[in-house]
């Protein structure tokens, strides 16, 4: 077990998320990460608001969060966990690699607070695999398995 994985992360606020992930508005889909357990598991949250751009067209009369954005929120939560748990050294960039077994259970609408519960299934070298369950008010709205890859960020001169 590496040193970084042994040290639990308390929370990852928006400032740390911006340093960990390449995403920016309107595509940063995680507001905060809470309840981290090293690189083993965490919960990311997304506060869904009506003024987000996807609701202009999905759907104007009955706004529903697109399922693909729920999956992306899971991937971003897992990606931030990987980057923050990685061994110190060169800055890392995280790439979403795979999605498996995605299931959508209930619509997510403006006003909901989505919790992305991510649990590490495996890790080998620079690849990470996570099981994700998205919940709103304790009810499962989406689940999937995602993987990510960390690579050196040569753009930052590392």
Q: Are 74 and 118 in contact (CB under 8 A)?
A: yes
Catalytic-role residue among 16, 58, 90, 106: 58
Buried b (16+ CB within 10 A) or exposed e, 56-90: eeeeeeebebebebbbbbbbbbbbbbbbbbbeeee
Report how far residue 25's alpha carbon sits from residue 39's, in angstroms, rounded to the nearest whole number: 26
58 is catalytic: yes
Point out the residues that are catalytic.
58
């Amino acid at each position: 077990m590496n040193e970084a994985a042994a040290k639990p992360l308390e929370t990852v606020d928006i400032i740390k998320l911006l340093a960990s992930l390449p995403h920016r508005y309107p595509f940063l889909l995680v507001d905060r990460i809470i309840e981290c357990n090293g690189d083993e598991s965490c919960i990311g949250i997304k506060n869904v608001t009506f003024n987000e751009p996807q609701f202009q067209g999905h759907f104007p009369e009955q706004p529903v969060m697109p399922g693909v954005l729920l999956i992306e929120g899971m991937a971003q939560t897992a990606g931030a966990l990987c980057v923050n748990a990685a061994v110190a050294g060169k800055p890392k960039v995280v790439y979403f690699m795979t999605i498996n077994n995605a299931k959508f259970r209930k619509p997510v609408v403006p006003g909901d607070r989505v919790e992305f519960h991510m649990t590490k299934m495996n890790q080998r070298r620079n690849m990470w695999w996570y099981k994700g369950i998205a919940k709103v008010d304790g009810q499962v709205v989406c689940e999937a398995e995602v993987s990510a890859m960390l690579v050196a960020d040569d753009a930052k001169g590392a």
